């Protein structure tokens, strides 16, 4: 076995043995390492204000207004341009965020712990559909909803989870959702229902225990959760981040541990190559557009939600979710084939995430950059499509592939990093 194969086997072991558990909800500034005043986290690889896409710029403006660092849009833009705000990837702070991914200190985040390896990961809470911050909207309606999530939803969820001392087993929840027609990225109907079922008694107990201000607003919380079929997405993302982080940093390992997009660049990180990002221009997804919109309106792909594909869910698990084609396009046969194709790019299968239509074969897991370059196949990603202008919102959904250049760059770098003599001897 070569040095790379040995390293990959260890990385796969860590992925398969991961045990993500939801343990809490807390203000991001209290729990996310390094998220302090004047820092804004965003999706994808590093980027500066001048290169940001419309949706990401809009979300940054909204984040600044939400935190009270500026009073008007013009002041927020001036502050963003001034260099006084530090823009950093969520991935650099044990976090992930969908679409623009903007996370600021006052926003509540899920806290997920990998019980096997002890690491934590974080993700903000899903706002629902329509005019939302993650698509670059920053009007009064958006800011009021964010304030409600900070003041009501976040504390309610935190109180509920305090009454679940063992936490909520996310590996089990995701596995069950796959058996019910989800794939963990763009279809989360089952996962959101399972999450609501698990949290409802705890929410009721917390309200009954007299938590200040919670009892009389519990109906608002239930209404919000019941109306948002994508609410579980952010939690699945945090679970996948907690799963993949222990597999990062293994010398000579050729497995991808993160794929992410900022609306301008698509970037990947590889276990054996430290914190380097390998980037190329992000592509515009192809798919189904909402009435009144077309491909020319679309922004290039954006978001950290490709952490799901990195962990063997999303586009890699589409065979479990044939109904998703009504949202992203194609046929149920295409969804099945998407999963089958991905086995050629991965080093293993995750038996915890069995796919019923494949006789419960585990999802393809562990993207190997060598296999991507050798086969010419690219990881399959399903995704929401954002309008290129800030604040318009989601205009469709579809499929997209990462640029091959990312994997070619990474493979060359990995070859340079490995001692030729040890590789030749397999030591």
Q: Is residue 5 part of a domain?
A: no
Q: Is residue 6 part of a domain?
A: no
What gap in Å lies between CA 10 and CA 8, rounded to an integer? 5
Domain boundary among 208, 238, 268: 238
Q: Is residue 421 part of a domain?
A: yes
Q: Is residue 10 part of a domain?
A: no
Residues 227 and 273 in one domain: no
Quote the number of domains for the chain. Answer: 2
Q: Is residue 3 part of a domain?
A: no
Domain that holds residue 223: 16-238
Residues 103 and 154 in one domain: yes
Q: What is the CATH number for 297?
A: 3.90.1700.10
Question: What confidence score (pLDDT) does residue 426 get?
Answer: 46
CB 146 within 8 A of CB 192: no
Residues 301 and 397 in one domain: yes
Domain boundary among 169, 204, 238: 238
Q: Is residue 328 part of a domain?
A: yes
Average pLDDT over residues 186-214: 87
Q: Is residue 355 part of a domain?
A: yes
Q: What is the CATH number for 26?
A: 3.90.1710.10
pLDDT tens for residues 362-376?
Answer: 999 999 999 999 999
What six digits make up the tokens of 113? 């712990």
Is the Cα dihedral 255, 261, 267, 272 positive or negative?
A: negative
Does 381 score more than 70 pLDDT? yes
Question: What confidence score (pLDDT) does residue 391 get?
Answer: 81
Residues 54 and 74 in one domain: yes
Residues 284 and 136 in one domain: no
Q: For the chain, what is the mean pLDDT?
A: 95
- C-alpha angle 361-258-423 in degrees, rounded to nearest 5: 85
Residues 42 and 189 in one domain: yes
Residues 63 and 152 in one domain: yes
Q: Is residue 1 part of a domain?
A: no
Residues 230 and 262 in one domain: no
Question: What confidence score (pLDDT) does residue 213 get?
Answer: 61
User: pTM for this one?
Assistant: 0.96
Domain boundary among 213, 238, 263: 238
Confidence tier at 113 by pLDDT (50, 70, 90): very high
């Amino acid at each position: 076995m070569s040095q790379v194969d040995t390293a990959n086997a260890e990385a796969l072991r860590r992925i398969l043995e991961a045990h993500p558990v939801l343990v809490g909800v807390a203000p991001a500034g209290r729990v996310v390492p390094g998220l302090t005043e004047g820092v804004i986290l965003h999706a994808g690889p590093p980027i500066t204000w001048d290169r940001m896409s419309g949706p990401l710029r809009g979300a940054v403006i909204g984040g600044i207004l939400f935190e009270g660092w500026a009073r008007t849009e013009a002041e927020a833009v001036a502050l963003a341009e001034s260099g006084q705000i530090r823009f950093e990837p969520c991935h650099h702070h044990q976090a992930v965020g969908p679409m623009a991914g903007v996370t600021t200190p006052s926003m509540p985040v899920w806290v997920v712990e990998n019980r096997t390896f002890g690491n934590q990961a974080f993700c903000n809470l899903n706002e629902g559909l329509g005019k939302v911050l993650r698509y670059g909207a920053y009007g009064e309606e958006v800011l009021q909803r964010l304030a409600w999530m900070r003041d009501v939803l976040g504390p309610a969820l935190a109180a509920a989870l305090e009454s679940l001392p063992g936490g909520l087993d996310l590996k089990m929840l995701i596995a069950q959702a796959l058996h019910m027609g989800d794939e963990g990225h763009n279809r989360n109907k089952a996962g959101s229902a399972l999450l609501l079922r698990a949290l409802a008694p705890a929410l009721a107990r917390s309200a009954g225990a007299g938590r200040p201000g919670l009892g009389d607003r519990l109906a608002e919380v239930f209404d919000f959760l019941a109306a948002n079929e994508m609410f579980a997405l952010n939690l699945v993302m945090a679970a996948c981040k907690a799963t993949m982080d222990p597999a990062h940093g293994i010398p000579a390992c050729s497995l991808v541990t993160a794929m992410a997009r900022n609306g301008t660049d698509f970037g990947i990180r590889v276990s054996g190559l430290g914190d380097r990002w390998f980037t190329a221009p992000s592509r515009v997804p192809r798919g189904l557009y909402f009435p009144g919109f077309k491909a020319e309106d679309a922004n290039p792909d954006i978001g950290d939600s490709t952490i799901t594909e990195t962990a063997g869910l999303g586009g890699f698990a589409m065979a479990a979710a044939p109904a998703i084609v009504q949202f992203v396009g194609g046929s149920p046969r295409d969804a099945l084939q998407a999963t089958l194709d991905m086995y050629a790019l991965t080093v293993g299968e995750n038996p915890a995430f069995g796919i019923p239509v494949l006789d419960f074969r585990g999802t393809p897991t562990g993207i190997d950059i060598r296999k991507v370059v050798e086969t010419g196949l690219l990881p399959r990603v399903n995704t929401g499509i954002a309008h290129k202008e800030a604040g318009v919102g989601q205009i469709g959904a579809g499929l997209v592939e990462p640029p091959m250049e990312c994997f070619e760059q990474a493979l060359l770098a990995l070859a340079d990093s490995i001692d030729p003599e040890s590789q030749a001897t397999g030591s």
